[in-house]
Amino acid sequence: MKNAVIFTLLLFFLVGCKSTSSGIVTSKSEAEKKGIYTAPKNTKAVAKNTKNTTEKKATETAKTSQKSRITESDDDDYIPDDDNTSYFVKQLISSAMQYQGVRYRSGGTTSAGMDCSGLVSTVFKEYDISLPRRSVDMSKVGQKLKLKEVKKGDLVFFKTSSRGVINHVGLVTEVRDDEILFIHSSVQRGVIISSTKEAYYQRTFAQANRILSDEHF
């Protein structure tokens, strides 16, 4: 009886050792074969690829942000019309129109609020054209025009204060015979489109300037 118990214990020990040793993995190659280990990927290569992707996106963003370089041949949605206005000027006006409805804010230059010169300087800056911040200083830039010479993309200036100096500016969006429509930021109504036919702007009109060069037209 004693021998039988000893034999049973010995048999149990041998079997247990065999199963335990068979479960031990002694190398990475063996672990990979069993599917319980995967070699890490080349982290340097991944980092390099990520960097290249980031640089590529940054380049693409910089390229598309240069709106002044876009032409009608680059725009799949461009639909030619009978208007002789250049594609560049149409883009300029379109950008200004995006701010319609923005409230007036003295010194403002964003969609949170902007004043008249803030609107004009912001829109032109989007196309890499720098203008003075104040309307009176803008009026000293470019070529003065007669009303009959005014085109879309030109600027119109007004003297709306009792001081008798230029203090308001708008961007011409349309010319109809002797009527000029312009987008601007008014104190009362924010960014809107007005007409030189309106009594107030007929009375306060000061001058019109061409800021853009001939190549833009």
| 181 or 80, greater pLDDT | 181
pLDDT in tens, 125-159: 999 999 999 999 999 999 999 999 999 999 999 99
Indicate which residues carry an active-site annotation.
116, 168, 184
Residue 173 has pLDDT above 50, yes or no: yes
Give CA separation, 65 vs 17, 76, 130, in Å.
Answer: 71, 17, 16
Rounded CA separation 185/107 (Å): 11
Domains, the chain, in order of start with CATH, read 85-216 (3.90.1720.10)
pLDDT in tens, 36-86: 555 555 444 444 444 444 344 333 333 333 444 455 455 555 555 657 899
Give the percent of the chain with pLDDT over 70.
62
DSSP 8-state code for residue 177 = T
Rounded CA separation 41/78 (Å): 47
Q: Is the pTM of this model over 0.85?
A: no
How do 143-145 and 109-110 pair as beta strands? unpaired
Q: Tokens standing for 34?
A: 């069993």
* Mean pLDDT (whole number) for 165-176: 97
Mean residue pLDDT across the chain: 78
Residue 169 has pLDDT above 80, yes or no: yes
| 188 or 75, greater pLDDT | 188
| Dihedral sign from CA coordinates of 135, 136, 137, 142 | positive
